[in-house]
Structure 1
């Protein structure tokens, strides 16, 4: 290797070490549910909701910026909750939130199983693949932080490339795409789907993780906030471009084919065979599998951090207590086939309903706690939210509460009635 090549590798390595946390955050929210919602938005509303994708990325950035500022200027979110509410209340909140993480994992391992089974032509059912996926997620999740972060960077960049490659030959109308980035009167007929795009991006586990993991990056001073924001900008740009590519591909290819709704997150892959060929299907479904698997690790890191913190224990990635909680709770994923059978839910039902549970019950709690923390004078001092920031950040809290209120009845009916 020449001196110049060695220097380039060293510079690249330095940038990866300096940044990259946002890719863990984006990998957390960008799962099979996000792929499904983006595909559904394109099929149902064409390019109309491209503006909502941009809004979702900005909302996600805003939430993570609050969490980063809390971690840099104050403390992690769960430590704040423990100091304000006491150990018993903080532990109860942590356990309540952790139930949502486990539910998420049950749906995600099922999604990986269904995707792999589809690519294998159904020769192996999804259930055993889901079990194997659970153990694979545990194995990856207990690796050192840098190894997992580098994996998340590689996977998210690969996902962006995969879906852009699928979208490029779609024959999308440039004018329609351009108009889609501006809200119009047509938007009023698609507000529910817009809310879905926004809700799937503001992922509550990230509110806790960002405030914890800023220390992993060495961001502990006011001057480090600019690095955190550069990191978030790049990460959420990658997530946004990937979502835009999926929506455009669905609007340009599936909508003209007569699709008005999608039966599952695999349906776009099946349809792409007719237009672009098998390669597009393999890339699309392979992307779904990678996205679902990516999400498991950071989502299940959350209870491994917040449960000990709520109880008053200082825990770090790789500690024995961290690994035991992570492996134990993630291991519940092996019950995904049993849960599917017991509740009479399909894989698609679980992929949609379990994140919906988190959006309805966990997101409002986490959003209120985060908003409280960044406005607390004792914790944040001079770095607490300004009035301008409060106006913007309050949108997240408002959205979380409104979505929960509007969705809770439908969720109860669906979960008790055997899904969709």
Structure 2
């Protein structure tokens, strides 16, 4: 009997993998979508340009991301998805115009991510195997691969992305610890200062916020709550614990990148990253070749990890704008038109070499500027729609935000708008002016 009791307790304390994913896992997909090559490069840039000074901003971005995802989930649990809310309030034409405009940001993100995978793979192949393949060719194949994987069953994709996020956390954590930072110096980064109040600093701040508090996730979370069976008040605990685990892991990985680059690269006199390989080369000089391989490998995993969920968003919301509700949030069971649109977006994202050849933007330009575009345009619009949705009685059925949640929500909206206003001219000018 004692044996049986111990076994029962053990089973309750240590749920199986399948039991874990029945309750949790959605937040890891959401974090995987924001933690791409843009995040890695942006966090690296923050480390070399500002040292540990922007760690506080990462913390705020993560908290805002959790708060926004919590509200998005509640919209889905108690009412409609955010896309359906947008159509109901703005009508088909209004919703189509707004959602097509914000979807441009997803296309830009897709272009940036395939370019990052292409360039990173090219560098890795040349460094390790001496094989030379143009990043442009690899970028095209990356779009094709994402199209194939993105229409698989949701559960399979969730398992893959959770695994990749854990791998990324371990990779960047190892590099950060090996860089041997001074804990007391690192701790100074949790206190805000004014060192980032420059044009380049504001663009970087917009990029950090835009790549962490990711606006496509506001739409996806409200759709995907059904995958977890979250349908009532009692499910809020699991939803919030899921968010804390997923976004906590993503935030720690981001801080690890800042710590590693600030500790190793900045003292070496590197204050600007010219290419993907710059952090790896500097890490090699101090820590050894293994550090470069881990850093580059982690960047590639992060980049590819983001493509699928980011391009899911426009495929879902553009259908919703036209009144064609996706009955299942599982891509493998969704409408054929959804799958065709998603595949088309993935193939379009593989055309990033044309952006380079015709627009004059380097891969590094795309990695910084395209997330910043989303911080300037996509996030303020989506955050405003979310604020309206969680205060709409027709949507929330008595579960609207109270004054405390509204106060926190207004922080997200106001901060997003302020950063957008301050950095819009620099971001748009750089994109259409041939780069940074």
Following TM superposition, by how much is the alpha carbon of 1:266 offset from its aligned partner in structure 2, in angstroms? 3.0
Q: Which residue of structure 2 aligns with residue 235 of structure 1? A: 246
Instruction: Assess, with a 3 A threshold, how the Cα gap between structure 1 residues 413 and 195 changes in structure 2: closer, same or farther.
Output: closer
Q: Which residue of structure 1 aligns with residue 264 of structure 2? A: 253
Following TM superposition, by how much is the alpha carbon of 1:402 offset from its aligned partner in structure 2, in angstroms? 1.4
Instruction: Give TM-score scaled by structure 1 length.
Output: 0.95
Q: Which residue of structure 2 aligns with residue 32 of structure 1? A: 37
Distance 1:30 1:334 in 2: 19
The answer on 1:177 being equivalent to 2:186 is yes
SS in 2 for 1:215: helix
Number of positions where the alignment pairs a residue of Structure 1 with one of Structure 2:
418
Distance 1:187 1:113 in 2: 31
Following TM superposition, by how much is the alpha carbon of 1:308 offset from its aligned partner in structure 2, in angstroms? 1.1
Distance 1:176 1:184 in 2: 14
CA contact (8 A) 1:36 1:264 kept: no
The answer on 1:91 being equivalent to 2:96 is yes
CA contact (8 A) 1:269 1:281 kept: yes
Please give the residue correspondences for 1:68-107 in structure 2 after superposition, counting only pairs within 5 Å: 68-107=73-112
Please give the residue correspondences for 1:291-370 in structure 2 after superposition, counting only pairs within 5 Å: 291-315=302-326, 316=328, 317-318=331-332, 319=334, 320-370=336-386
Following TM superposition, by how much is the alpha carbon of 1:151 offset from its aligned partner in structure 2, in angstroms? 0.5
Distance 1:185 1:84 in 2: 40
Q: Which residue of structure 2 aligns with residue 377 of structure 1? A: 393
Offset from partner CA, 1:346-369 (integer Å, 9 cap, x none): 111111222222222222111111
CA contact (8 A) 2:207 2:372 kept: no
Please give the residue correspondences for 1:399-410 in structure 2 after superposition, counting only pairs within 5 Å: 399-410=415-426
CA contact (8 A) 1:35 1:265 kept: no
Q: Which runs of 5+ in 2 are unaligned?
A: none
Q: Which residue of structure 1 aligns with residue 281 of structure 2? A: 270
Q: Which residue of structure 1 aligns with residue 407 of structure 2? A: 391
Instruction: Give TM-score scaled by structure 2 length.
Output: 0.91
Following TM superposition, by how much is the alpha carbon of 1:265 offset from its aligned partner in structure 2, in angstroms? 3.8
Following TM superposition, by how much is the alpha carbon of 1:287 offset from its aligned partner in structure 2, in angstroms? 0.8
Following TM superposition, by how much is the alpha carbon of 1:404 offset from its aligned partner in structure 2, in angstroms? 1.6
Distance 1:379 1:179 in 2: 43
Following TM superposition, by how much is the alpha carbon of 1:180 offset from its aligned partner in structure 2, in angstroms? 2.1
Following TM superposition, by how much is the alpha carbon of 1:411 offset from its aligned partner in structure 2, in angstroms? 2.3
Q: Which runs of 5+ in 1 are unaligned?
A: none
Following TM superposition, by how much is the alpha carbon of 1:69 offset from its aligned partner in structure 2, in angstroms? 0.9
CA contact (8 A) 1:32 1:265 kept: no
Q: Which residue of structure 2 aligns with residue 207 of structure 1? A: 218
CA contact (8 A) 2:373 2:427 kept: yes
Following TM superposition, by how much is the alpha carbon of 1:188 offset from its aligned partner in structure 2, in angstroms? 6.3
Distance 2:31 2:250 in 1: 6
> What is the RMSD of the two structures over their aligned residues, measured on CA atoms?
2.0
CA contact (8 A) 1:29 1:203 kept: yes
Offset from partner CA, 1:330-361 (integer Å, 9 cap, x none): 11123211121000111111112222222222
Instruction: Assess, with a 3 A threshold, how the Cα gap between structure 1 residues 147 and 184 changes in structure 2: closer, same or farther.
Output: same
